Amino acid sequence: MFRRRPDEPLIETVLIESGRVRLFDRHLLRLRRSGAAPKQVTAVRALAETWRRTAGRPTVVRFEVAARTGVASRARTPPPREPVRLALVPGFDPTDARRERKLADRSWAEEAEALAAEAGADEPLLHDDAGLLGETSRASLFVVDATGRIRTPPVRGILPGVTRGWAIGAAGAEEHALTVEDLAHARAAFLTTAARGVVPVASVDGRALGTDERVAELAAAWRALV
C-alpha cells in the first residue's frame, strides 16, 4: 500500500474558464484522498475562488500543497484542444501505487515525453512489457473498440482522473484492461484531462485512428458543465 510522506507535495490542476471551475468538488475530494489536510483543502478552495473572480481569460491553475510551504498556486495558458498524436512508450507499471496519487514530483514523465517528442508525437502513451496500456503523461485514455464499447484502463498504476471519472458515467464507459493490440483494432480513442476536457486521439505511432460521434458529443457535454 502506498503511504505518502507528510512532506511530499501534492498538486491539483483545474481550468478556470468563464468564471467556472468544472467538477471542482471532485478535485477537492481527490486532493483530500491523496492526503491533504482539511485546512489545506479549504485554502485551495479559497485560492480557486480568487482565481475564478479575477481570471479574465481561460487559465489553467496548478495548486501545490506542501506541509512546509503551505498552499500555493501558479497559472499557465491552457493547452490546445486539438486532436492528439500519441507515441507508444514503455514506462507503465500497474503495481506502482504512487501513480494513483497526484504528487508534485513528475520526474517519471520526463523521459517518456522526450521520447514522444523525438517520435514527432504530442504525448507518450505508456505501456508495460506485456503491452498493457496505462495513460499518457498528462491524460487518461479511453478506447472505442470495434463493437462500439467505450473502455478505459482500471485505476491500477494510473491516476484516477477527475474528468475521467465524469466521462465514465457520462459515456457509459467501463473499466477494462486494454492492450496495444486492442488499440490497433480500435474504432477511435480519446483522452480526458481537466485542462482540455475531452480530446480525440488523431494517431498512435503515426497510424491514424477513426472517429466516433460520441466523442464530440462528450466533449460538448464537458464544455457545458458549470
CA 83/CA 190 separation, integer angstroms: 8
pLDDT for 104 equals 92
Q: Is the pLDDT of residue 69 over 90?
A: no
In this prediction, residue 62 carries a pLDDT of: 97
The model's pLDDT over 162-194, given as tens digits with 9 standing for 90+, comes to 999 999 999 999 999 999 999 999 999 999 999
CA-CA distance, 15 to 51, in Å (whole number)? 10
- Residues 21 and 197: their CA atoms lie apart, in Å, by 12
Q: Go through the domains of the chain in sequence order and give each one's CATH number.
A: 10-76 (3.30.470.10), 84-223 (3.20.10.10)
Q: Is 81 in a helix, a strand, or coil?
A: coil
Arithmetic mean of pLDDT over the chain:
95
Which one has a higher pLDDT value, 166 or 108? 166
Which grid coordinates belong to 99? Answer: 501513480
**Residue 7 confidence (pLDDT) above 80:** no
pLDDT tens-digit readout, 11-35:
999 999 999 999 999 999 999 999 8
Residue 173: all three cell numbers together: 464507459
User: According to the model, what pLDDT value does residue 2 have?
Assistant: 54
Long-range contacts of 36-41 (CB under 8 A, 24+ apart): 36/10, 36/65, 40/65, 40/70, 40/71
What's the pLDDT at 8? 87
Average pLDDT estimate for 61-75: 91
